[in-house]
Amino acid sequence: MIIEKSQKLLFTTFSLLIFYNLLFSQKLEPKERIGHEPDHIISSEITKKEYLIHLSFPKNYSNRDTITYPVLYVLDGKSTHRYFNSSYIDFEKTENVILVGISHKVNGMESRINRFNDYTAYRDTISDRKFEKKFGLEKGTIKTGGADNFLECIKKEIVPFIDKHYKTNSDRGISGHSLGGLFTAYCFLSSDNYFTRFGINSPSFQLNEEIFLEPAIIKFTNNQKWDIKPTKVFISTGEDESPEMVSNMVKFSLHLKKRNYENIDMNWRIYRNETHASVIPSSLNGTLITIYGKE
């Protein structure tokens, strides 16, 4: 009887090993990147836009084992992916995580226009006209308020593509800077537990101050409980960014920290002597260490 049980256990174990080997052998191997070339280009049926995907993998990532990894989706990956495997990131202090940079395929002004649309949660015609005037664009060129569609694109097109081709698990985070930070804050405020780790860096709260920031603060003030899964949040800005950006980030962070939600582990930081552009690698490193830090 004991021998029979042992044989069944061995058969089950062997079958599982075969299954996992077949499963992971169908996954893609990491590419050797040439310059700034993306790993993939995804055409979205939802947003009608094309997105570049830049990937970074843990050092020991291999299809020859059964290990799966959490994933951090980083917005504006075209400009940030050069920091993914650089000396700016202290990987000795973080868990193994796959980094997935997402950015628009178009460049220059077209990219700006797409960012204003994808990364903003509400239509803000005042901001639309303001930035059209600033960039010398025709009226109606900039249309804010496409965040719902972009988030649907991430959930239904980009994440399933990454999950299909790489060794991921359901532990997902999202991080962004500037307008990307605003979008990440929107994902956090409307959390359905799809993402449980958030890097909200240099968020452009000034765009939607009355229709996003102020309601967020009211939510933190009035709601004593927030029924979401255990969640980690990192919020940051550079000391030398615009006074409005710094003060809004501090206002958001202090109200969230003060509420002290039981299931939200939140930290925030102002980086000394850093501008809106120079703070990017520091805030990415801070995001990784804070929300993926080794225990």
pTM listed for this prediction: 0.90
Q: How confident is the model at residue 105 (pLDDT cuts 50, 70, 90)?
A: very high
Q: What is the 3-state secondary structure (H, E, C) of 57-94?
A: CCCCCCCCCCCCEEEEEEECHHHHHHHCCCCCCCHHHE
What pLDDT was estimated at residue 207?
Answer: 84
In a domain, 174, yes or no: yes
Q: If you average pLDDT over residues 57-81, what whole number do you get?
A: 94
137 against 223, higher pLDDT: 137
Q: Please state, rounded to an integer, the average pLDDT across all residues of the chain.
A: 90
pLDDT digits (tens, 9 = 90+) for 149-192: 999 999 999 999 999 999 999 999 999 999 999 999 999 999 99
- Quote the number of domains for the chain: 1
The CATH number covering residue 268 comes to: 3.40.50.1820
What pLDDT was estimated at residue 32?
Answer: 77
What pLDDT was estimated at residue 14?
Answer: 52
Strand ranges of the sheet holding 50-56, from the earlier edge strand across to the other edge: 40-43, 50-56, 98-104, 69-75, 168-177, 197-201, 231-238, 264-271
What pLDDT was estimated at residue 91?
Answer: 87
Write down the number of H helices and E strands in the chain: 10, 8
- For residues 274 and 214, give the distance between their C-alpha atoms in angstroms, rounded to a whole number: 26
In a domain, 10, yes or no: no
What pLDDT was estimated at residue 3?
Answer: 52
Instruction: Assess whether pLDDT exceeds 80 at residue 20.
Output: no
Q: How confident is the model at residue 5 (pLDDT cuts 50, 70, 90)?
A: low
In a domain, 57, yes or no: yes
Q: If you average pLDDT over residues 59-66, what whole number do you get?
A: 92
In a domain, 24, yes or no: no
Instruction: Assess whether pLDDT exceeds 50 at residue 17.
Output: no
In a domain, 21, yes or no: no
Note whether 240 and 274 are within 8 A (CB). Answer: yes
pLDDT digits (tens, 9 = 90+) for 191-202: 999 999 999 999
Q: Which of 292, 290, 207, 205 is nearest to 255 (CA)?
A: 205
% the chain with pLDDT above 90: 77
In a domain, 128, yes or no: yes
Joined together, the tokens standing for residue 205 give: 């709260």
**Structural domain of 214:** 33-291
In a domain, 27, yes or no: no
* Residues pairing with 267 in the sheet: 234
What pLDDT was estimated at residue 16?
Answer: 47
Q: How confident is the model at residue 6 (pLDDT cuts 50, 70, 90)?
A: low
What pLDDT was estimated at residue 8?
Answer: 56
- For residues 246 and 241, give the distance between their C-alpha atoms in angstroms, rounded to a whole number: 7
Q: If you average pLDDT over residues 235-258, what whole number do you get?
A: 96
What pLDDT was estimated at residue 4?
Answer: 55
236 Cβ contact partners less than 8 Å away, ≥ 6 residues apart:
199, 200, 201, 202, 249, 268, 269, 270, 271, 279, 282, 283, 286, 287
In a domain, 119, yes or no: yes
Residue 70: phi, psi to the nearest 5? -70, 160
243 against 11, higher pLDDT: 243
pLDDT digits (tens, 9 = 90+) for 207-231: 877 888 999 999 999 988 899 999 9
